[in-house]
Chain A
C-alpha cells in the first residue's frame, strides 16, 4: 500500500510538538486515499517510536546513524532521501521548523518533485486524486491553492499549528521498522559549530496565553517597560513587529510574523501595530486580537475583535491599571 511519510522531529529528549500535528495532516489525506501514514524518526529511539504510534502513525521508520548531528539539515535530508527511495511514498510532509523547512524542499528538488510551502490546509483533489495545498502568498494578502502534478513524492511543508495532534492513545497499534542508513561522509557538507542560547526571561512567546505586541507606533524602545508591565499582569509575554526589531528597539527573537514567530495566544493585545499582512501571518490564529491604534483605518481593526482608536500614551496606562484592578479583585 502506498504511504504518506511524515518527518517527525525531536526536541530535546522528546518528540517535537509538530510530530503529532503532521500525523494528523497525514491522516486527513489518508482518509481519502487509503494510504498508510508512516513517520520517519531520524536519530530517535523505540520509546519515541511508540509515542508516534500512539499519536496515530501506522508505521515508524526508526533510523540512526553516527553522522546525524542535531540541527544539521544535511544528515536528516540524506536519511529521509534514503527512506523515500526505499518506501516510494506518494506524499512527504515536513513542518515549517528550521530543519523541516530546509529538509522538505531539498528532498523534493533532489527527487525532481513539487513542493508546497507554509501550508494551512491539505486535501485530495477529487478529480485527479492528487494533493491540493492551501497556502498564503503575497505576504498573506492572497491565498492560493496549488495542485501537484503526477510526480511523486508530493512534498508538503505545514505551517506550525495548522493541524492539531490527536490525543495520545497507547492502544493504537503500528509497526516499527529499524531502517539501516549507513550515511556517507559525502552526504554531509555542513557542520554545526556552536549553538548559542539567548535566554529571554519570563514566559516563551510560543507558550504565552496572553501576548502584548509592540509596534512602530510606540516611537522608540522606552515604552517596552510599560508593555512588559501589562504582560506581567497576565503572566504573558511581549512580542513585536518587524519594524520594531529592524529598528533595533528589541532583538529579532521578539518578532512575530511571516519571517518571525507564529503565535496562537488566547489574547493578543497590539499597541501601535498597523496589522500588515506579513505581521498577521504570525498571529492571525490568536483567539482574540485587541488593537490600540490612533488610526481608525489601520488594517489591524479588520483583524481585531475589540479595539480603541486613540493615542497609546493615554489609552495604555488606563487600560493596564483597570486590568490590574480587575484581575486582583
Chain B
C-alpha cells in the first residue's frame, strides 16, 4: 500500500539574520525583509521533510507532497524540499492571504489537504521561526479530525498506527495513534539531509502547482482574523554591561569573580 504523506513547509526570514539587519516598521506593524539576506525554509519544516523521507525509505512506497502558503515565494529557496527528495509541491498564493492569523492559516492549509485527497500522515514543523505560534498544525488536526502528536523526536510507522517519542524535561514520552495522524517534529528528529546533485537536477525539472483561495472554495470572509496584531516593536534592553578588564584574560577572570562577590551576586 502506498502512503500519502503531506509536509507543510513555510518560507521565513532567515533566523540567523544579524540583529543589526533586523528592522521593524512600527507604523505598518511589519518586519522589514533583511537587505541582501535571502529567506529560508523554516528549520523545523526542513526537519519535517527529513522525517517524511525517512518514513518513505522505511515504508518503501510513499508519495511526499509539500504544501506551502505564502506570498513572495523565492523559488530557489522553496525548491529545497524537492531537491531533498520530496515528490511534488503545491504553493498557495493569494493576496487575500496576506494578513491571515493562525486560524485562517490552518483553515487554508487544511482545505488544501482535503483537496489533495487521501492522506495518511501530515508532518509539520513544531514552530515557525518568524511568528513562533507553534500551533497552526494543531489547528489542522482539529479541522481534519485527525489524531495529533506534537514535538516528535522520533517516528515509527506500524500497521495502521504510528508511534512517536516526544521530549519531556526529564526524559521522553512515547505515544501511539492511529492513521491518519498529524505529527509535528522538533529538531531532535535529525538533521535535514543535504540535497544531492541528482536531487537538485530532478527538482529543477519539477514545477510546483499554484493554488489560490478560490481553488479551495474559500473567500476572504472564511479566513477573517479572530486575533489582530495591534503593536509590533523591537524590545529595548535595559541591561548595562560592565566589562571587567584585567592585565590579561586570566586576571580578568579573577577580577570578575571578585566583582561578583563585591556585588553580592555570588
Interface positions of A (Cβ within 8 A of B): 71-74, 98, 101-102, 105-106, 108-110, 112-118, 125, 132, 135-149, 151, 189-200, 204, 206, 210, 234, 242, 246, 252-253, 258-259, 261, 266-267, 277-278, 288-292, 296, 299, 301-311, 314-323, 326-327
A259 to B42: give the CA distance in the assembly, Å: 14
**B147 at interface, CB cutoff 8 A:** yes
Chain B interface (Cβ within 8 Å of chain A)?
Answer: 13, 15, 19, 22, 24, 31, 101-103, 106, 126-127, 129-135, 138-139, 141-143, 146-151, 153, 163, 165-178, 181, 186-188, 191, 225-235, 237, 239-245, 248-254, 256-261, 263, 265-266
Is A194 a contact of B234 with CB atoms below 8 Å? no
Kindly state the separation between the CA atoms of A72 and B139 in the bound complex, as whole angstroms.
Answer: 17
On whether the beta carbons of B170 and A198 are closer than 8 Å, the reply is yes
Chain B residues with CB under 8 Å of A289's CB are 239
Query: What is the total of A-B residue contacts with beta carbons within 8 Å?
Result: 271
Pairs across A and B, CB under 8 Å, 11 listed:
A72-B175, A74-B147, A98-B168, A106-B148, A109-B139, A132-B230, A138-B130, A144-B229, A149-B227, A197-B170, A303-B237
- 6 nearest A-B pairs in the assembled complex, by CB-CB distance: A314-B249, A318-B253, A105-B135, A322-B257, A114-B227, A189-B147
Candidate in B147, B237, B253, B257 with the most chain A CB atoms within 10 angstroms: B253
What is the CB-to-nearest-CB distance from A109 to chain B, in angstroms, rounded to a whole number? 4
Is the beta-carbon distance between A327 and B130 smaller than 8 angstroms?
no
Return chain B residues, CB-CB under 8 Å to A147: 227-228, 230
Chain A residue at minimal CB-CB distance from B258: A322
Distance in angstroms from A146 CB to nearest chain B CB is 5
> Given A139-B15, A308-B243, A323-B257, do A190 and B147 touch, yes or no (CB 8 Å)?
yes
Partner of B173, one of A112, A148, A195, A277: A195
Besides A98-B151, A114-B225, A314-B249, 15 more A-B contacts (Cβ < 8 Å) are: A105-B139, A106-B141, A114-B101, A138-B15, A142-B233, A189-B147, A259-B127, A267-B260, A303-B237, A304-B241, A307-B242, A310-B249, A314-B253, A317-B250, A320-B253
Which residues of B lie under 8 Å from residue A303 when comparing CB positions?
237, 239, 241
* Most chain A CB neighbours (cut-off 10 Å) among B135, B146, B229: B135
On whether the beta carbons of A139 and B135 are closer than 8 Å, the reply is: no
B135 touches A115 (CB 8 A): yes
A190 touches B148 (CB 8 A): yes
Among B167, B234, B263, the one with the most A-chain Cβ atoms within 10 Å of its Cβ is B167
Cα–Cα, bound, A128→B163 (Å): 45
A314 to B251, CA, bound (A): 9
Chain B residues, CB < 8 A from A326? 257-258, 261, 266
Shortest Cβ distance from residue A79 to the other chain B in the assembled complex, whole angstroms? 16
Are B253 and A146 closer than 8 Å at their CB atoms?
no
Say whether, besides A106-B138, A193-B176, A195-B171, A113 and B226 are in contact (CB < 8 Å): yes
Residues of A within 8 A of B241 (CB): 291, 301-307
| Inter-chain contacts of B127 with A (CB < 8 A) | 258-259
Q: Which of B143, B230, B252 contacts A109 (CB 8 A)?
A: B143
Q: Closest B-chain residue to A205, C-beta based?
A: B169
Per the bound structure, the CA–CA distance linking A71 and B153 in Å amounts to 16
The 8 Å CB contact of A142, one of B150, B169, B235, B252, is B235
Contact partner of B243 (CB less than 8 A), chosen from A148, A191, A296, is: A296
Chain B contacts of A234 at CB under 8 A? 266
B266 touching A309, Cβ below 8 Å: no
Residues of B within 8 A of A302 (CB): 237, 239, 241
Given contacts A105-B139, A142-B31, A194-B174, contact A114 B254 (CB under 8 A): no
Name the residue of chain A whose CB is nearest to the CB of B16.
A276
CA distance A198 to B173 in the complex (A): 11
| Distance, CA A136 to CA B29, complexed state (A) | 14
The one of B22, B134, B239, B257 that contacts A117, using a Cβ cutoff of 8 Å: B134
Question: Within the assembled complex, what's the spacing in Å between the Cα atoms of A235 and B106?
Answer: 46
With the chains together, A309 CA to B255 CA distance in Å?
Answer: 12
Q: Which of A110, A125, A151, A322 counts the most chain B CB atoms within 10 A? A: A322
| B131 → A minimal CB distance (Å) | 5
CB atoms of A206 and B169 under 8 A apart = yes
